[in-house]
Amino acid sequence: MNKEFIASEMQALQSRITDRLELIDGLAKFSVDKWDREEGGGGITKIIQKGDLIEKGGVAFSAVHGPVSEVMNKQLGLKGDSFFATGVSIVLHPNNSHVPIIHMNVRYFELNTGEFWFGGGIDLTPHYIIPSQAQLFHQGLKTICDKYDKAFYPKFKTWADEYFFIPHRNETRGIGGIFFDHQDLDSGLSKEQLFNFCIELGDNFTVLYNQQAELGRELSYTEDELSWRNLRRGRYVEFNLVNDRGTKFGLLSGGRTESILMSLPANASWEYNKKVAPNSKEEFTLNSLKKGVNWID
């Protein structure tokens, strides 16, 4: 299983996902931007805007290679001379305040030293947290993880709680999901099994998202609910620009800015010292943005 094969499978995954998302959305189509990276490789950024379900979203594929830069060495601790990286990244911002924001990423990395690893994650950011929907999402992730290793879900769920956290707000970004990095043969799985795990996550992404979307997309929403959605989008922007290591590394290392920042919503808002009403669903949501919540039981 060489890197060219993995990259072409990642690209095929991107196509399957965008085809399915167009079916799910029912209105908007993805626009396609191919780009080249000066130092080697390139990518395909697919953007969907003003859909029936999705207001703004992107599904990005890239396969890049080149010398290990000083930034890579400092930020990622990479020791080799040259690297290869490929993966698929997704963020979808829905119109309806009752549909969550979703993010997915699967990626493969190798160095000229022969070292390689997989990473990835899926996490959900509901504007309004509803425990039964959170349970459905986490149960779906657990089912996929359990097929590969019973230890994966608890380990990767905790990792997601740590990763998708906004320290300056003392809030998790949403209800989490799974996150994993640097999975190599030490994981106990073969390279092929790790690859299959990533692809299976990718192929189940649209299933998990469609479940969530179906539960909210036909519900009506008020102006107040849209204002709340926009404030939650503001926190999403904060996480992505202040805390997300992937975004920071991408911007610092001279990645393609438009592809990296496709994760930002069409709009977001901020209000000084926003207070929520006691016993409101907004208060419930804020109180649920904690690490270590067991959403399944």
Q: Could you list the active site residues?
A: 103
- Per the rule left: phi > 0, alpha: psi between -120 and 50, beta: everything else, 41 is left
Range list of H helices, 102-239: 131-148, 152-163, 191-216, 223-238
Residues in the chain: 297
Taking the complex as a whole, the smallest distance from the CB of residue 193 to a second copy amounts, in Å, to: 35
241 binds a second copy (CB under 8 A): yes
Amino acid identity of residue 22, one-letter, is E
The contact pattern for a second copy, residues 173-202, with x = CB under 8 A and - = no contact, is ------------------------------
Taking the complex as a whole, the smallest distance from the CB of residue 56 to a second copy amounts, in Å, to: 8
Taking the complex as a whole, the smallest distance from the CB of residue 93 to a second copy amounts, in Å, to: 10
Q: Which helix (H) or strand (E) holds 25?
A: helix 3-25
**Which of residues 44 and 47 has its CB atom nearest to a second copy in the complex?**
47
**Which of residues 12 and 226 has its CB atom nearest to a second copy in the complex?**
226
User: Which residue in the set 238, 246, 285, 288 belongs to the binding site for a second copy (CB under 8 A)?
Assistant: 238
Helices 191-216 + 131-148 axis angle, to 10: 160
User: Which residue in the set 251, 276, 286, 293 belongs to the binding site for a second copy (CB under 8 A)?
Assistant: 251
167 binds a second copy (CB under 8 A): yes
DSSP string, 165-198: EEGGGTEESSSEEEEEEEE-GGGSS-HHHHHHHH
- Per the rule left: phi > 0, alpha: psi between -120 and 50, beta: everything else, 14 is alpha
User: Which residue in the set 10, 24, 237, 289 belongs to the binding site for a second copy (CB under 8 A)?
Assistant: 237
Residues facing 176 on adjacent strands: 124
Stretch that binds a second copy, among 112-120, 121-129, 270-278, 288-296 (CB under 8 A): 270-278
Taking the complex as a whole, the smallest distance from the CB of residue 32 to a second copy amounts, in Å, to: 12
Residues 6+ positions from 64 with CB-CB distance below 8 Å: 37, 39, 40, 41, 42, 43, 84, 85, 86
Per CB under 8 A, which of residues 77..136 are in contact with a second copy? none
Q: How many CB atoms lie within 10 A of CB 16?
A: 15
User: Which residue in the set 234, 249, 281, 286 belongs to the binding site for a second copy (CB under 8 A)?
Assistant: 234
Per CB under 8 A, which of residues 10..69 are in contact with a second copy? 31, 33, 45, 47, 49, 56, 58
Binding site for a second copy (CB under 8 A): 31, 33, 45, 47, 49, 56, 58, 167-169, 230, 234, 237-238, 241-242, 248, 251, 257-258, 260-262, 264-273
